[in-house]
Amino acid sequence: MEWILLGWAWVVPAVAGAGAATYVGLTTRGRRARRLELDAARHEESQAYRELVAAKARVRVAQADVMTAKARAATPQAAEARRELQLARQDERSASLALRASRSRVKAGYSQYRAGSPGDPLPIERLWAEHDAANARWLSYETDVDKALKYSQVTDSRHPATVVFLRAQREALTARPTLRDRVSPQQYLEYRRAVRALQAALVEAERAAGVPGAAPPSAAQAAAATTAATISAAASMIADLADRLPTLISRPPSSAPSRERPPT
């Protein structure tokens, strides 16, 4: 009997400790999942700060190159150094603006986290909902008969804007996390960028197909569409050449027509 009591004296604290550790782990994971957007904003701020520091360093290097070129009286090198300095200063201004924007997102994320309640959807769940909504909106052009007849271009993979959307759809699916409690801030940022690119590509595909109410394309979307069109045209030319190549190889070379001398 004493041995049994002694055994329970060891088992009960061990079970209680394991239960407490499990509860603390679940609570910590839940809290981390709720502040994921805030942690992602802080991670983005840290990245923006490092990029600004690197941009400032490039400016100092470019300034030193300009001074060196002036000291050596090298006119071509001085012009190139000034151009590099101008580009470095532009990068520095862009990095500074990106850092300001990231700090604003940190403040917004902190306010949202403080104002949230346990019943609110998690940040990753909201992003999943946006992803699913974009896919459902695109699928409606296949499942709805009226839309399929009116705007068949939205689902036509031969159109450049649709090619861009399908690529963005594949990238968003690849970046989509599967476990809501085990998403790192970097994964969240990559997935959010992919979802935003998917939404923008869908708007551009709808606009190109003439869907009423579609927003006009931005400069980045127009550039992406132009690139996709160039790639599509090049692929068509290569495919056509590949189809004609066996015929061209098997065709015997044509002999040049012989020229007869006119009779004298």
Q: What is the DSSP letter of 218?
A: -
Quick: pLDDT tens for 52-111.
Answer: 999 999 999 998 888 888 887 767 788 888 899 899 999 999 999 999 998 998 898 888
List % helix, strand, coil for the chain (3-state, nearest 5): 80, 0, 20
pLDDT of residue 8: 52
**Is a pLDDT exceeding 70 seen at residue 11?**
no
| CA gap 110, 124 in Å, rounded | 16
Query: What average pLDDT does the segment 125-134 reach?
Result: 95
Quick: pLDDT tens for 212-238.
Answer: 876 654 544 444 444 444 444 444 444
User: Which strand (E) or helix (H) includes residue 8?
Assistant: helix 2-34
The tokens describing 45, both together, are 């701020």
Quick: pLDDT tens for 153-186.
Answer: 999 989 999 999 999 999 999 999 988 778 999 9
| CA 127 to each of CA 29, 62, 106, 160, 174: distance values in angstroms, whole numbers, following the listed order | 18, 42, 18, 27, 14
Entry pTM: 0.61
Task: Sketch the domain layout of the chain as residue ranges.
Answer: 121-245
